[in-house]
Structure 1
């Protein structure tokens, strides 16, 4: 009877020892990788960071030559360099130009085919407030003045038109005696008094055949 109880007790103790030992040696119980409890595992976070790829290095303030070498470590695409100022051309040799702006930003994840753009300034030139700004903004052009129309010169006074020559009047015959009479125009012409106007001495109707008031006018 005693032996049976002793054997049962010993078996129970052995089973308890084996159960405790199994729990302590279980990797899942010690690390919590697959325990079923939310938040118990840290391995998935580490795996995500490991597969996220390389990060874009911080390049602002560095020379282009150094920055280009750092970019080549994270992407295979060539770096596109440009001047940070819109009115300053990029020099052919810009190895020592400083980086003012970078795309992608520092600490951004990049892929092997990510394009990288760097905006540069010449040594000793400060960076602009934004890429593409003017280093030497020109003066605002003043609005073109509307030309004042020049007054046309007053036309020169035209020369006065030549006066029409007055028709030469027949010389007034010398007045003859008041009561002189002429038989005909031949006699009046011989006396040098023709033509004789009405009212003048020597005028007579028989001498003014056309009755125009002028005798011996033909």
Structure 2
């Protein structure tokens, strides 16, 4: 009976020794690696478009340490010294962008009641460039009778009207036809508006 008890004790001891001890298989001096520290969360740029500058500036100052830069959204409209009530049209960085304490924030503003431009830096009043001139009208011939004598005008009516002298003058279409100069187109010697009754640019054509 004693022998049977001794065998049971030995068997129990063997099982206890066979059980692995916790940490026995780790090399000496080994330590458990520490969990990586959680990175601080980066703030996101809030949506500021449509807000007054004072409200937008207050929201940004909670996230960044630098001063907020304000400028006029129009290139030809200066920013007022007191622009607290001006509205935000554009913001940099854009809404939702990562924002760090050292980030620079720029806001483009418009005065109360003014619409926002299509893009920052546009002009409010487009420059009034002179309209492109159309095809210049031909110079009108002199409509006053020549001052160098009536005889010259009568004489030169036939030859001058055909030759293209700049001082050609006809009192009537009958005189122009008699001189062989009719019909006369606008710009030709002898043409004048008074002889062009239908204003089609051709005098004494009927």
Q: What is the TM-score when the length of structure 1 is the normalising length?
A: 0.46
Q: What is the TM-score when the length of structure 2 is the normalising length?
A: 0.49
